[in-house]
Structure 1
């Protein structure tokens, strides 16, 4: 008698660039139903976001109904009267992909049925529904080891046979960047974000963090990320009530970090300013660059951080992030800069190579690196430059 053992693994060739999409939690929390998801899918298409590269519609916590007598999960019948399979089919009919949420513990963060002990059943259910993406949370996981719990779900998804992106969401508590490359396709590096520029909201046993606080927590993590395995500083808060300059800086820095670009606002009710930020094709191109390398912080002066991201074809993206409350002027001689990627070794030789310069947000041509760079950076805002070989 011979026994064929299939060694499980994560699905390769998924998330070769940082995933782009939308998640319900930041704006709607547990107030989710099938009408909201359908309207959001419609809005992702009509707003131009789909054309800009967004593809995942991800429903977060609280979609769950009860388990049946055999332990299989179903959607809440009042909120999702057509059932989850019909909703997934609707999203697919728009040319989009569908993401769902579960938790490695007995219950989700919202108190719904978790996947602990039901991982293989749930994976089979998601595959049957046609799910493309799973966000897997870490509430109510007493006694579990993170790496083992996420390996179990990875193996369950693989055995179910449908390629599904696995988003590891244990808030960076167990340093997933050190073990998750072969487990999932992205992993949270921090606690939850919220719509504030530079703040911390204390919930007692845990905190939510504003954009700059989350950004600062990414220190030292870039060497662990790349195509198919991304650091995830959490979903975006663009369009959720911050100032436009804060939204612009937030979106830009997530692109520079090669972070997943998962919107978290109401797509059916966006200002034109929000749409313009979320669909800025030149910034998205920086995020989705095939090289898949995060930006590094090159220097800090007068409250201005200079972030540099190597791109494919020898191009570079440079963002000046002004964290101060005052406009800052910059006068920089390119030939005096020695730019070497500290983790991956890429070099920008400005003494011998001339680069053309594009100011992305201003949509302005700044000629090239033969002349000093003289720009003003607005308070709590960014200036992003694309440097291409002349």
Structure 2
């Protein structure tokens, strides 16, 4: 992608975070196109987020995040009015996710982990929020980001944390695909 527009006006704080996150996680060159002598502390904070920068600069060169769910349609197909909202990709330290709220109001954003081609079924994942710089527990099969601001973003790093806990039900991540050893449906 082209030059970053942070600090040039026209973007809310949440839009600026979304803009920077998309550029960084898509492994675009981070060309800053603003007057650095007049930069605000908020914009400087966005541009110097070490965890986001680490993904842009990690050794998995050229491996950009890519959409795994398009638009806001119920069947997640492309919608020219709303771009993809759910992205993931590999990094040297785990799987990166970007959840982009394209709506004009806050929204809960949820997905099944195995929708991402970088996630293995039957595993649980530790969750690191790259904007709040917090470890947010362990995700098993699903993840929900609550009240993502309008035009806002959530950036996550998920790391494999071992097998799913014993007794997780149903016994497989995609209920419609559950089958016992003899091939009969479990669901």
TM range (shorter): 0.7 to 0.9
Say whether the 8 Å CA contact 2:128–2:136 is kept in structure 1. yes
Distance (whole Å) between structure 2 residues aligned to residue 296 and residue 378 of structure 1: 21
Q: Distance in 2 between matches of 1:382 and 1:338?
A: 19
Q: 3-state SS of the aligned residue for 1:369? A: strand
Preserved contact between residue 15 and residue 151 of structure 2 (Cα < 8 Å): yes
Shift of 1:352: 2.5
Deviation at 1:378, TM superposition (A): 1.0
The CA distance in 1 between the partners of 2:30 and 2:22, in whole Å, is 11
Q: Secondary structure at the match of 2:24?
A: helix
1:305 and 2:85 are equivalent in the alignment:
yes
**3-state SS of the aligned residue for 2:37?**
coil
Residue matched to 1:339: 116
User: SS of 2:45's equivalent?
Assistant: helix
Q: For each residue in 1:222-276, what CA deviation from the matched residue of structure 2 results, as whole angstroms up to 9, or x when unmatched?
A: xxxxxxxxxxx21111111121111111100001110000101111111110110
Residue-by-residue CA offset, 1:149-192 (whole Å, 9 max, x unaligned): xxxxxxxxxxxxxxxxxxxxxxxxxxxxxxxxxxxxxxxxxxxx
Secondary structure at 2:135 match in 1: strand
Residue of structure 2 in register with 1:379 after alignment: 150
Residue among 245, 255, 259 paired with 2:24: 255
Higher Cα Rg: structure 1 or 2? 1
Q: Which residue of structure 1 aligns with residue 77 of structure 2?
A: none
Show the 5 A alignment for 1:171-186. none
Q: Aligned to 2:35, which of 246, 266, 277? A: 266
Q: Structure 2 CA distance, aligned partners of 1:301 and 1:375?
A: 17
Question: Over residues 90-122 of structure 1, what are the superposed CA-to-partner deviations in whole Å (9 max), with x where a residue is unaligned?
Answer: xxxxxxxxxxxxxxxxxxxxxxxxxxxxxxxxx
Q: CA RMSD in A?
A: 1.7
Whole-angstrom CA distance in 2 between matches of 1:245 and 1:257: 18
Cα shift at 1:305: 0.7
How many correspondences in the alignment?
Answer: 148
TM-score normalised over the length of structure 1: 0.36
**Residue 365, structure 1, aligned to residue 135, structure 2:** yes
Q: Find the aligned partners of 2:28 and 2:158 in 1 and give their Cα distance.
A: 21
Q: Which residue of 2 aligns with 1:239?
A: 7
Aligned in 2, Cα 1:295/1:333: closer, same or farther, shift over 3 Å? closer
Alpha-carbon distance change, 272 to 361 in structure 1, aligned in 2, over 3 angstroms = same
Task: Report the alpha carbon displacement of residue 281 of structure 1 after superposing the two structures with TM.
Answer: 0.4
**What corresponds to 2:181 in structure 1?**
none
Query: TM-score with structure 2 length normalisation?
Result: 0.73
Deviation at 1:317, TM superposition (A): 0.7
Segments of structure 1 that go 5 or more residues without pairing to the other structure are 1-232, 341-346
Change (3 A) 1:338 1:380: closer
Q: What's the offset of the Cα at 1:333?
A: 4.1
What SS does the corresponding residue of 1:268 show, helix, strand or coil?
Answer: helix
SS for the counterpart of 2:156 is strand
Over residues 133-160 of structure 1, what are the superposed CA-to-partner deviations in whole Å (9 max), with x where a residue is unaligned? xxxxxxxxxxxxxxxxxxxxxxxxxxxx
Aligned equivalents of 2:36, 2:102: Cα separation in 1 = 28
